[in-house]
Amino acid sequence: MPVAWAPMKTTAAAAQKLSPGLTFSALALALTLTACGAETADDDAADAGESARPSVADASAGTTAEDSASPEQEAEESQGEPDDDAAQESEGGPDEEQDQEQEAEAEPTELPGGGDTLFPDRRFVAAYGSPGIPGLGVLGEAEAEDTAERVKFYAEQYQKHSEEPVQPAFEIITSVATGEPGADGDYSNALDPEVIEPWVELAAEEDIYVVLDLQPGLSTFLDQAKLYEELLAQPHVGLALDSEWRLREGQRHMQQIGSVTAEEINEVSDWLAQLTADEELPQKMLMLHQFKHTMIQNREAVDTSHEELAIVLHADGHGTPDLKLGTYDTLQDGLSEDIWLGWKNFYDEDSPTFTSEQTYDVDPKPWFVSYQ
pLDDT, one tens digit per residue, over 241-252 is 999 999 999 999
How many domains does the chain fold into?
Answer: 1
- Cβ contacts of residue 105 below 8 Å, gap of 6+? none
User: Residue 348: pLDDT above 90?
Assistant: yes
Interatomic CA distance for residues 176 and 168, integer angstroms: 23
Residue in 317, 260, 315 with CA at minimum distance from that of residue 289 = 315
Does residue 7 have a cis peptide bond before it, meaning omega lies within 30 degrees of 0?
no
Whether residue 305 lies inside any domain: the answer is yes
Q: Give the Å distances, CA to CA, from 46 to 34, 311, 359.
A: 20, 30, 15
User: Residue 6: pLDDT above 60?
Assistant: no
Interatomic CA distance for residues 4 and 120, integer angstroms: 19
Residue in 127, 118, 125, 7 with CA at minimum distance from that of residue 365 = 125
Whether residue 27 lies inside any domain: the answer is no
Whether residue 280 lies inside any domain: the answer is yes
Q: Give the Å distances, CA to CA, from 22 to 83, 254, 273, 315.
A: 72, 12, 30, 10
Whether residue 102 lies inside any domain: the answer is no
First vs last C-alpha separation in the chain: 40
**CB distance 308 to 109 below 8 Å:** no
The lowest-confidence range among 81-95, 156-170, 204-218 is 81-95
**CB distance 165 to 122 below 8 Å:** yes
Check residue 327 and give its pLDDT.
97
Whether residue 87 lies inside any domain: the answer is no
pTM across the whole model:
0.76
Mean pLDDT for all residues in the chain: 81
**CB distance 222 to 264 below 8 Å:** yes
Check residue 108 and give its pLDDT.
75
Whether residue 95 lies inside any domain: the answer is no
Q: Give the Å distances, CA to CA, from 99 to 89, 94, 103, 370.
A: 15, 9, 6, 44
Domain range for 237:
43-49+111-371
User: Residue 57: pLDDT above 60?
Assistant: no
Residue by residue, DSSP assigns 318-339 as -SSHHHHHHHHHHTTTT--TT-
Whether residue 74 lies inside any domain: the answer is no
Rg (CA), the chain: 24
Other C-beta atoms within 10 Å of 207: how many? 15
User: Residue 43: pLDDT above 50?
Assistant: no
- DSSP tally for the chain: helices H, then strands E: 13, 11
Whether residue 325 lies inside any domain: the answer is yes
What average pLDDT does this structure show over 31-59?
A: 33
Does residue 120 have a cis peptide bond before it, meaning omega lies within 30 degrees of 0?
yes
CATH number of residue 166's parent domain: 3.20.20
